[in-house]
């Protein structure tokens, strides 16, 4: 039976007890336990219609938006032809459901606390001095970011057409290595069996990797001789258990989910003292990957035969929502469309508190033509250097670049 979208309710079986001159007692049972509530008003002989199964069910079954639904109702212990005001029945119903809900929340909270306490914390390699990672898709941007102070470059070769030649990427790796900068290739978050051949030639380069594809993280990073793989934010690590599992799979670092606030990031990373974690500090996250190409549909062209559109005629595609927000769209190597956030997230104002929580790895993402790669990278470099030296960074350095075209995103509010 298809889901209606309504949450599953908890059945409550009720036993009613009482006699004339006594209070009405309701024993409410669920699969998790029971609660007993008693009226402060005594039952009286009925002058007209007395309490019976039908009348009690009508009132006790009014559970509205609660998580409960009325199950069996046992009135065998309730004397016949008794009266009690409907308002008292409603009070008993609300009291019982309130206690049941509170008990449910307390048990849930205890279960969460026990689960957190039992996280299998696996040691990870201690972080080096502050690491600034710049994620780019153009080779020239990789060099610009390195010149501006990036310690590591994540190159997303699969984001847009055309891909550079393998020889040119090898040359880039050499140039960056000579500057003491690591080149890390970013794999797509979707890799179907038929896509694998397009990815293999890049895997063969033997570079470190960053991947939002959990299967590829598990395959390529598997201990004891796994490759240097960073689990990207698309893996969606948002609690300590998922972090422990991804580390167990062999990931060297984890870019925390972009759905976490700064405080939540600190909570997730606390068992490791934030070692081995990375913060998505700047840029447009990928909101979704669309299987059907926007351009091919707009121009009624067969998919994968129209790269003149995204490469030459319309390299900068955008979608506008009814509120007027503009979302960049990148047509990737497999002719899928990656829908990007309408504005870059900027966490520069939160760097001091993230630093105090122990974070030392910060990712800047540049995935739109015209992104101010060098200026933003240099501003973040200056902020991290200030923090490392015990100074307060300039909170306006990045804002001087972005103006008002940014969002504080997940740093300021929960999803």
Q: Nearest 5°: phi and psi at 110?
A: -65, -40
Task: Classify residue 30 by its DSSP letter.
Answer: E
> Do 156 and 67 belong to one domain?
no
Read off the DSSP letter of residue 357. T
Residues 182 and 152 in one domain: yes
Are 67 and 166 in the same domain?
Answer: no
**Any domain includes 14:** yes
**Domain span including residue 68:** 10-117
Same domain, 16 and 157: no
Q: What is the mean pLDDT of residues 86-111?
A: 89
With respect to residue 294, please indicate whether it lies within any of the assigned structural domains. Answer: no
Give mean pLDDT, residues 156-172. 94
Q: Do both 58 and 193 map to the same domain?
A: no
Percent of the chain with pLDDT over 90: 72
In angstroms, the CA 337 to CA 359 distance is 32
Average pLDDT value for residue range 53-81: 92
* 255 lies in the same domain as 401: yes
Residue 364's pLDDT is 98
152 and 72 inside one domain: no
Read off the pLDDT band of 407 (50, 70, 90).
confident
Q: Mean pLDDT, to the nearest integer, of 137-153?
A: 97
Between 316 and 116, residue with greater pLDDT: 316
- Whether residue 292 lies inside any domain: the answer is no
Tens-place pLDDT, residues 210-229 = 999 999 999 999 988 899 99
Position 330 in a domain: no
CA–chain centroid gap for 308, Å, is: 35
Do the beta carbons of residue 238 and residue 260 sit within 8 Å? yes
Residue 40 within a domain: yes
Residue 166 lies in a domain: yes
pLDDT tens digit sequence for 273-328: 999 999 999 999 999 999 888 899 999 998 888 888 998 898 889 999 999 999 99
Q: How many domains does the chain have?
A: 2
Structure tokens that stand for 251 in this block: 């990931």
Same domain, residue pair 64 and 191: no
pLDDT of residue 114: 74
pLDDT band at 3 (very low <50, low <70, confident <90, very high): very low
**Nearest alpha carbon to residue 75 among 43, 30, 47:** 43
**Does some domain include residue 317?**
no
What is residue 189's DSSP assignment?
S
CATH number at residue 408: 3.20.20.70
Do 51 and 151 fall within a single domain? Answer: no
Domain-terminating residue out of 60, 82, 117: 117
Q: Of 70-84, 107-121, 398-412, where does mean pLDDT reach its minimum?
A: 107-121
The whole-number average pLDDT for the span 141-158 is: 97
Instruction: Tell me what pLDDT residue 6 has.
Output: 59
199-213, pLDDT tens digit by residue? 999 999 999 999 999
- Which residue, of 117, 141, 158, is where some domain finishes? 117
Q: Which residues contact 109 (CB under 8 A, 6 or more apart)?
A: none
Return the ∠ at Cα 100 (arms to 96 and 105), rounded to 5°: 150
Alpha carbon of 387 to those of 147, 192, 382, 384, 394: distances in Å? 20, 43, 9, 5, 10
| Pair (220, 354) in one structural domain | yes
Ramachandran category for residue 292: left, alpha or beta (phi over 0 → left; psi -120 to 50 → alpha): beta
Residues 252 and 366 in one domain: yes
Chosen domain end from 90, 117, 144: 117
Residue 111 within any structural domain of the chain: yes
pLDDT for the residue 2: 42
Average pLDDT of the chain to the nearest whole number: 91
pLDDT reported for residue 178: 96
pLDDT at 1 over 80: no
pLDDT tens for each residue of 258-271:
999 999 999 999 99
Say yes or no: 347 and 198 in one domain: yes
Q: Quick one: pLDDT at residue 4?
A: 47
């Amino acid at each position: 039976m298809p889901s209606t979208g309504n949450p599953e309710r908890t059945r409550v079986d009720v036993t009613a007890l009482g006699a004339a001159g006594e209070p009405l007692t309701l024993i409410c049972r669920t699969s998790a336990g029971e609660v007993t509530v008693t009226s402060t008003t005594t039952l009286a002989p009925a002058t007209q219609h007395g309490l019976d199964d039908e009348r009690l069910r009508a009132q006790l079954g009014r559970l509205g938006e609660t998580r409960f639904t009325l199950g069996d109702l046992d009135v065998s212990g309730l004397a016949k032809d008794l009266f009690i005001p409907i308002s008292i029945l409603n009070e008993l119903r609300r009291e019982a459901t309130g206690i049941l809900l509170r008990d449910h929340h307390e048990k849930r909270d205890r279960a969460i606390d026990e689960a957190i306490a039992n996280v299998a914390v696996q040691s990870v390699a201690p972080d080096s001095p502050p690491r600034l990672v710049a994620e780019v898709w153009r080779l020239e941007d990789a060099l610009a970011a390195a010149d501006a102070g990036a310690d590591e470059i994540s190159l997303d070769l699969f984001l847009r057409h055309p891909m550079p030649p393998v020889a040119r990427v090898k040359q880039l790796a050499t140039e960056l290595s000579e500057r003491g900068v690591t080149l890390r290739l970013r794999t797509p978050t979707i890799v179907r069996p038929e896509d694998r051949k397009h990815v293999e030639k890049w895997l063969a380069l033997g570079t470190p990797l960053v991947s939002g594809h959990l299967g590829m993280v598990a395959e390529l990073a598997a201990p004891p001789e796994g490759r240097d793989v960073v689990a990207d934010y698309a893996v969606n690590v948002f609690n300590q258990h998922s972090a422990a599992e991804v580390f167990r799979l062999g990931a060297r670092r984890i870019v925390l989910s972009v759905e976490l606030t700064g405080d939540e990031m600190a909570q997730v990373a606390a068992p490791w003292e934030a070692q081995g974690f990375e913060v998505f500090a700047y840029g447009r996250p990928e909101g979704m990957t669309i299987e059907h190409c926007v351009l091919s549909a707009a121009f009624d062209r067969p998919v994968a035969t129209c790269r003149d559109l995204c490469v030459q005629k319309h390299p900068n595609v955008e979608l506008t929502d009814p509120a007027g927000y503009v979302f960049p769209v990148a047509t990737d190597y497999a002719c899928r469309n990656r829908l990007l956030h309408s504005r870059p997230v900027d966490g520069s104002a939160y760097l001091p508190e993230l630093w105090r929580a122990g974070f030392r790895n910060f990712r800047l993402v540049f995935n739109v033509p015209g992104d101010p790669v060098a200026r933003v990278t240099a501003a973040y470099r200056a902020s991290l250097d200030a923090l490392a030296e015990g100074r307060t960074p300039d909170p306006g350095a990045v804002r001087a670049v972005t103006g008002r075209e940014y969002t504080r995103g997940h740093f300021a509010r929960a999803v």
